[in-house]
């Protein structure tokens, strides 16, 4: 019996330094995790229900509503990566009526797009179909952020949208900021047709831009 017991003691003897090294690594790992959590907390905030409602809007599946300023709401069709509706709440009343897990917009409608129109990739004068996948929403100190993946035959794009809590200093009844990643040279991303007709789009420098180009932020304002 002395042989097996001695063997076990030998293995534990080798394991001793390993356990010590692991013990020394624990504070480092804990510190790294704490630092990551702190950075995340500084960027992403808990959702404020006074400004965002993630229940279906007007019976539209996969939709959400975000408030801008005191009484303006933007409703999003997440499957098509677009604004479905913009409206102003009645004076002194909420702009949403919630029943169960469904919300109904109430107030004055400023913009509505109930069509199946969505984004289009234009390459060398030709339209390339896109498959859209919603990636998520986050709340930041000054804005909300939505992201989508737009897949096409030879790759994919990433679409970012920021909804500022305030429309100032950009003006407009409602304001959005968008940018796209991974556009190739000569490619542009066309807004859904109703948005092209109603929203004023410009680059960060203030130049009119009917489509998203490059990787910089574009601003859309509803006059």
| φ, ψ dihedrals at 189, nearest 5° | -110, 115
Domain residue spans of the chain: 1-33, 52-222
Q: What is the mean pLDDT of residues 174-200?
A: 96
**In the predicted structure, residue 18 carries a pLDDT above the cut 50:** no
**Smallest Cα–Cα separation from 134: which of 145, 123, 143?**
145
d(CA 137, CA 146): 5
- Report which secondary-structure segment, H or E, holds 7: helix 2-43
d(CA 81, CA 69): 22
**In the predicted structure, residue 62 carries a pLDDT above the cut 60:** yes
- How confident is residue 205, by pLDDT bands cut at 50, 70 and 90? confident
Give the count of beta carbons closer than 10 Å to the beta carbon of residue 74.
23
Q: What is the pLDDT of residue 49?
A: 81
Q: Pick from 13-17, 132-136, 164-168, 206-210 the range whose average pLDDT is largest.
A: 132-136
pLDDT tens across 95-118, in order?
999 888 889 999 999 999 999 999
pLDDT tens across 19-31, in order?
344 444 444 343 4
Token duo for residue 223: 């006059």
| φ, ψ dihedrals at 28, nearest 5° | -65, -45
- How confident is residue 181, by pLDDT bands cut at 50, 70 and 90? very high
Classify residue 22 as exposed, middle or buried by CB count within 10 Å of its CB (0-12, 13-18, 19+).
exposed
120 touches 127 (CB < 8 A): yes
Report the range of poorest mean pLDDT among 40-54, 160-174, 185-199, 200-214.
40-54
Report the range of poorest mean pLDDT among 1-5, 46-50, 197-201.
1-5
């Amino acid at each position: 019996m002395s042989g097996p017991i001695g063997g076990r003691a030998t293995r534990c003897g080798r394991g001793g330094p390993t356990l010590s090294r692991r013990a020394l690594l624990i504070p480092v790992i804990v510190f790294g995790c704490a630092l990551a959590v702190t950075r995340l907390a500084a960027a992403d905030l808990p959702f404020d229900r006074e400004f965002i409602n993630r229940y279906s809007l007007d019976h539209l599946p996969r939709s959400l509503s975000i408030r801008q300023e005191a009484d303006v709401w933007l409703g999003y069709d997440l499957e098509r990566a677009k604004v479905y509706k913009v409206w102003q709440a009645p004076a002194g009343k909420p702009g949403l009526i919630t029943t169960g897990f469904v919300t109904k917009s109430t107030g004055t409608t400023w913009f509505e797009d109930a069509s199946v129109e969505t984004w289009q990739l234009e390459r060398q004068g030709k339209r390339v179909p896109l498959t859209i996948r919603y990636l998520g929403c986050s709340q930041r100190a000054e804005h909300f952020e939505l992201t989508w993946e737009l897949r096409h035959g030879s790759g994919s794009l990433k679409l970012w949208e920021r909804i500022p809590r305030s429309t100032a200093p950009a003006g407009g009844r409602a304001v959005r900021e968008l940018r796209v990643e991974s556009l190739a040279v000569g490619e542009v991303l066309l807004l859904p047709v109703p948005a092209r007709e109603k929203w004023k789009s410009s680059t960060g420098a203030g130049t009119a831009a009917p489509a998203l180009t490059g990787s910089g932020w574009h601003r859309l304002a509803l006059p």
